[in-house]
Chain A
Amino acid sequence: MTINQSGWRPEMAASGTATGAPTATGNRALMLEEPLIFEIGSADRTGVDLEQAPAVQNRLGGMERSAPIGLPGLSEQETVRHYTRLSRQNYAIDLGLFPLGSCTMKHNPRLNEKVARMPGFADLHPLAPQSAVQGALGVIHELGEWLKTLTGMAAVAMSPKAGAHGELCGLLAIRAALEARGDARKVILVPESAHGTNPATAAFCGYAVEDIPATAEGRVDLAALQARLAVGGPDCNVAAVMITNPNTCGLFEREMKKIADAVHAAGAFVYCDGANFNAIVGRVRPGDLGVDAMHINLHKTFSTPHGGGGPGSGPVVLSEALAPFAPLPIVEKDAAGVFHLIEEETAGQDHAQNFGRMVAFHGQMGMFTRALAYILSHGADGLRQVAEDAVLNANYILRSLEDVLDAPFGGSGPCMHEALFSDKGVAEGFTTLDIAKGLIDEGYHPMTMYFPLVVHGAMLIEPTETESKAALDQFIMALRSVAERAKAGDEALKGAPHFAPRRRLDETLAARKPKLVWEEAALAEAAG
């Protein structure tokens, strides 16, 4: 195969930025441009040494590969440099405040990384005999007990791989419970302010999705919900409502218990999106509010690193009513302290109503060890403090900026762990996007933009509890400055970011002519 070893593509050299003269390399001192591995690597180069394979008669059954694969290799140092250089083009929590609303980007303690890499956890096979994995099953069980106690729920399903996968788990349990009583229902109610995963999950499970209206102050409209649940009387076709609490407007659903009571009275179930559990951990148990199922994003509330897009982990706590339908596998501890993995074979009478298996193995073990280390580090007292400081930090931001940025629900009471603003009142032609990109030049990752959908030009800011007052003060100062520029109509803001590794990227071009894999220049040209 041919691999382009010429290095830069022509367009990459012309990287003059707003300030200073272009350089020959395209680099700007410590900001180094980095080609693709396909442009600098070659098929015959490698960064590993392997033992000589013994000479044998091959037994590949005539399936031997003859065509080249097209994989470039690099030496070890080239590899280290390539990825180190790429890493420096990323923003990260380790660099500064990462105020993405609904994402809970808190500090990722390094003890948790160390623990997850202990050979007893990291070098452990999922199908090893149970006698050889008692410690791993113990981790799953101990973490599960914490999650049940913190949420006041009867059972927990540990295997879901992320939040959306947890939603799927909750809805499958609800569906199984309804089917068990011969009651096939067709509709799931979801507020407009919900995460996109909620309606997507409901649709994936074969349900029709209907909106729940919100009140002017940003909460679920209880009267409207009750009216919808009354439709059909005893033949109510609502299987469940999916509610995020605290909600995505940053508010606690005050009427949550009444909502749950109404839902239960109609024979339906309450699914709670637990993405925002960080605001209430240790202060409120969702089980006390009538929740039947809730996923917990270990990569949010319990600080497992987000890794540039995962892996996450989404255990689901379940009420008494849904507990019998929990998926396999299940970890149980017997009276002698021995842990048992309940699978298809051993489900027996006790778990006869399980709804099946969602993943090949036991869930995100590497996230369980991290989350358990985090939980043990904080303890019951520390976790309560987590919620309090997270809420305090968000309110501090809300009240420090509401004079300069529109806070649509600022009058609805205190916010929980995130503060919601909008771009109402900025100069003509300026939007949330400009404010976000302006924050990049100030050295911050922007807040969540244009979500929740119920607020035009939404900006959702979640500082988390791991930010100091000094860090918050500097962020507030920076955002205030950018907001003032947007209000004054500062044209330079429309070109932001000016100082990032890239200026604004053409997303329309990317979608119109998708280039999803690298191709040799000649091939790419031929493809037009």
Chain B
Amino acid sequence: MRYLPLTDTDRRVMLDRIGAASIDDLFVDVPAEAHLSAKIAGLPDHATELAVERHMAALARRNMAAGDGPFFLGAGSYRHHIPASVDHLIQRGEFLTAYTPYQPEIAQGTLQMLFEFQTQVARLLGCDVANASMYDGSTACWEAVAMAARITKRKRVVLSGALHPHYAEVVKTMSKVTDYEIADSRPSIQPKPDNDGLIARIDDATSCVVVQYPDILGRLPDLEEVGAAARAKGALLVVVVTEPVALGAVKSPGEQGADIVVGEGQSLGVGLQFGGPYLGLFGCKQKYVRQMPGRLTGETVDAEGRRGFVLTLSTREQHIRREKATSNICTNSGLCALAFSIHMTLLGEKGLRDLAMLNHAQAVRAAEQLAAVPGVHVLNDSFFNEFTLLLSKDARQVARILADKGILAGVSLGRLFPGEAGLANGLVVAVTETVTDEDVDALCAGLKEVLA
């Protein structure tokens, strides 16, 4: 077996040193009735590298990759071009095969990277501080809700109807054990986000109001208005960003008054990966830092006065505080944070802003072209790189028919909000820099045919 270096001679010599007659002697504490005397039946034996690669490649071929045809899926997971050097660098063994940096003297590479990542994320979100990552956007969203409850000591959570429905589901699942009252709703199918309706649901018992920006339909809500209303009731504003590239083009949530900003960082450096591993971004105001979940890297000095970095404020964490910790999270998304940070460093301010405006411009052009297709109406007044089409037919059916023709046209609202008759004709379409003019032509032609 290519990964197991011990030879039978080694094993014999080692057992002798231990004073054991056979390997079974080392499993003597396993009760006889639970000890398997031979390998588990019905499973294949070891396989060569070539054989495993063939098997996995055959499975991979049964999928329609984003690059296989015109591709317009978003709704919380976005396809962007990832510079080649990102994947090269994250595959350096010193990053890839390192552990959580518990021994800072020999983990400065990871720690400095995380300090840079925290700074990049804080600046992008418009927050004072950011942590070293969470699992993904949806779990970061839940952690923000829990953090807001700790800060305000209130239990009522108001979710915008235009929050990603899977994020809302995660919050609802977790709230079963924390007794939070979740005020949920469905997105209003209007050109503008329903800020008035959202604000009306905030009351004196509300711990936080959770708003997605851009929202699930691609619209850009005015966060200042919501934040002011929340503050007036003593509640916090939690903002969820599922497409961080947008923040190269639009005002950050922090500068609009958000108290906690969470996000899905997958757009930069990480890729689609069928939903995971992804990258939870988590930022907040300085005054709440000791209520944050997750790891934090901080600057310090070594015994010779040289600058160095360590994991810090760990008295918030499970390995120190156990049942009094702010969260149970341990392993996070370190390597995805590295990919994000490298991509962000390659872009820089100019690159990110140019990338964002390229996305927006291409989306605007695509929206104009799609609006001209009979049976297609563009819902949004405002959007970044994703917008909602109202079709003359059930959008889920249309998306399936187009998928069979090799066009991944968008995510239907029927898939996201099943059983909501009023949403059935909605199709959320994402247009990033990876979409070509030919792709848009193909989508328009496909829709024209299917809707005719």
Contact = CB atoms under 8 A, between A and B. Distances in A.
Contact of B348 (A45, A109, A382, A517): A45
A283 B36 contact: yes
B321 interface: yes
A47 B348 contact: yes
B136 interface: yes
A61 B381 contact: yes
Interface residues of B, number: 214
Interface in B1-37: 1-6, 10-11, 13-15, 17-20, 23, 25-31, 33-36
The interface centre, meaning the residue of A123, A138, A146, A172 with most chain B CB atoms within 10 A of its CB, is: A123
A516 B345 contact: no
B352 interface: yes
Contacts of B174: 358
A502 B318 contact: no
Interface in B21-72: 23, 25-31, 33-36, 39-47, 49, 51-53, 55-67, 71
The interface centre, meaning the residue of B1, B135, B303 with most chain A CB atoms within 10 A of its CB, is: B135
B178 interface: yes
B349 A43 contact: yes
Contact of A312 (B331, B382, B408): B331
A118 B60 contact: yes
Contacts of A127: 73, 75-77, 411, 415
A454 interface: no
A510 interface: yes
Contact of B382 (A14, A37, A61, A84): A61
Given A79-B85, A132-B403, A517 B130 contact: yes
A369 B315 CA distance: 35
B118 interface: yes
B296 interface: yes
Given A14-B305, A161-B139, A518 B116 contact: yes
Given A47-B348, A135-B61, A204-B177, A58 B248 contact: no
Interface string B239-281: 0000000011111100100000000100000011111111000
A372 B357 CA distance: 40
A340 interface: no
B312 A507 contact: yes
A131 interface: yes
B99 A136 contact: no
- 10 smallest CB-CB distances across A and B, nearest first, come from A73-B348, A61-B382, A361-B275, A120-B60, A307-B335, A94-B93, A356-B173, A135-B62, A309-B334, A126-B275
Contacts of A510: 298-300, 310, 312
A53 B45 CA distance: 54
A90 B321 CA distance: 27
A362 B328 contact: no
The interface centre, meaning the residue of B29, B106, B314, B403 with most chain A CB atoms within 10 A of its CB, is: B106
A14 B306 contact: yes
B332 to A, nearest CB: 5
A200 B2 CA distance: 39
A396 B83 CA distance: 46
Given A14-B305, A257-B33, A399-B17, A373 B52 contact: yes
A76 B73 CA distance: 29
B307 interface: yes
Contacts of A122: 271-273
B170 A440 contact: no
Contacts, number: 755
B119 A38 contact: yes
A64 B310 contact: no
B344 interface: yes
Interface stretch (B120-128, B201-209, B443-451): B120-128
A333 interface: no
Contact of B110 (A59, A90, A106): A90
A41 B345 contact: yes
A125 B29 contact: no
A203 to B, nearest CB: 4
19 contacts: A1-B349, A9-B307, A11-B307, A36-B115, A60-B249, A86-B109, A135-B61, A197-B330, A203-B322, A205-B177, A282-B36, A306-B99, A311-B335, A358-B173, A360-B275, A414-B28, A468-B10, A504-B105, A505-B302
Contacts of B222: 63
A471 B4 CA distance: 13
Given A108-B96, A307-B338, A365-B275, A504 B43 contact: no
A34 B345 CA distance: 15
Interface stretch (B153-161, B228-236, B360-368): B360-368
Given A307-B98, A376-B47, 8 more contacts: A36-B116, A76-B85, A115-B52, A200-B328, A360-B76, A361-B278, A380-B41, A381-B39
B200 interface: no
B196 interface: no
B307 A46 contact: no
A285 interface: yes
Given A37-B116, A53-B354, A92 B96 contact: yes
Given A125-B77, A366-B277, A516 B404 contact: no
Nearest to A306: B99
Given A380-B39, A507-B300, A392 B60 contact: no
A391 interface: yes
Contacts of A1: 349
B167 interface: yes
B45 A382 contact: yes
B41 to A, nearest CB: 8
B321 to A, nearest CB: 7
A134 B403 CA distance: 13
B166 interface: yes
Contact of B93 (A93, A129, A283, A364): A93
Contacts of B382: 59-63
B301 interface: yes
A487 interface: no
Contact of B338 (A98, A308, A357, A511): A308
Nearest to B14: A396
Contacts of A17: 304
A65 B34 CA distance: 63
Nearest to B23: A388
A199 interface: yes
B152 interface: no
Contacts of B17: 396, 399-400
Contacts of A369: 56
A126 to B, nearest CB: 3
A251 B106 contact: no
Contact of B312 (A16, A384, A514): A514
Interface in B75-124: 75-77, 79, 83, 85, 87-110, 112-116, 118-120, 122-124
Given A164-B331, A165-B139, A63 B89 contact: no
A53 B94 CA distance: 38
A106 B5 CA distance: 12
B298 to A, nearest CB: 4
Contacts of B166: 357, 359-361
A450 B120 CA distance: 34
Given A90-B98, A200-B322, A501-B106, A69 B345 contact: no
B187 interface: no
A41 to B, nearest CB: 6
Given A48-B347, A199-B322, A76 B83 contact: yes
B107 A133 contact: no
B147 to A, nearest CB: 12
Given A64-B249, A76-B85, A382-B45, A120 B357 contact: no
B44 A74 contact: no
Given A65-B252, A392-B6, A124 B272 contact: yes
A518 B31 contact: no
B364 A311 contact: no
A70 interface: yes
The interface centre, meaning the residue of A57, A76, A380, A517 with most chain B CB atoms within 10 A of its CB, is: A517
A443 B21 CA distance: 33
